[in-house]
Amino acid sequence: MQKHFFILSVITCMLVIFNVKAQNTPIDDFLKKYPSREGVTTVSLSQQILQSYFDEDKNRKAPESYSSITVSKNENAFEKFTNFNKMVVSSKYEKILEVNKENSDIVCYYVKKMNKGAKETIVSRQQKDMFSAIYIKGDIEIDDLDWYLTTIKRKTKLKILLFIQF
């Protein structure tokens, strides 16, 4: 009986590990679909780095993870933007806001609720020959999203400058 329990436990653990590893962000899926890195910039930040960014502000909780992609100077940027948004919608994200400016600048906001109140938020943006997307996971209110993204951008630039100077 113990042997069967042990085997069942090992199989369950393996399934959990494979299930966790199989959960990619839409940005990961996009990079698999378009593996060319020409004109592509990606940034991924771990929870440990994010925690250090938000230690100063005790009123706001650090996100669990953050990643972004920018595809610049690409004649197929709009096609990639459209394909990315289709991938997001097919992954059960709900579009909560879309902003269309007259100069073909489009910004879309998507949210997917997870367990225990955590959310995954995606912001995708299309500008002329550039497409960018940001993925952020954590219990973040949409009203605070701009503050979070501005803080991450500012702190990331600061860390990169410190690293280059070192």
Mean pLDDT of 51-64: 81
| pLDDT for res 52 | 84
Q: Where are the domains of the chain?
A: 24-165
| pLDDT for res 103 | 73
Average pLDDT in the chain: 77
Considering the four listed CATH numbers 3.40.1000, 1.20.1300, 3.40.50, 2.60.40, the one that applies to the domain covering 24-165 is 3.40.1000
pLDDT digits (tens, 9 = 90+) for 144-155: 888 888 888 888
Mean pLDDT of 134-150: 85
Residue 65 has pLDDT above 80, yes or no: yes
| pLDDT for res 133 | 92
Report the predicted TM-score, pTM, of the whole model to 2 decimal places: 0.75
Going from the C-alpha of 1 to that of each of 4, 7, 13, 132, the distances in angstroms are 5, 10, 18, 55
CA–CA gap between residue 125 and residue 108 (Å, rounded): 6
| pLDDT for res 117 | 62
Going from the C-alpha of 155 to that of each of 55, 71, 94, 110, the distances in angstroms are 12, 22, 29, 24
- Count CB-CB contacts under 10 A for residue 85: 22
Residue 30 has pLDDT above 80, yes or no: yes
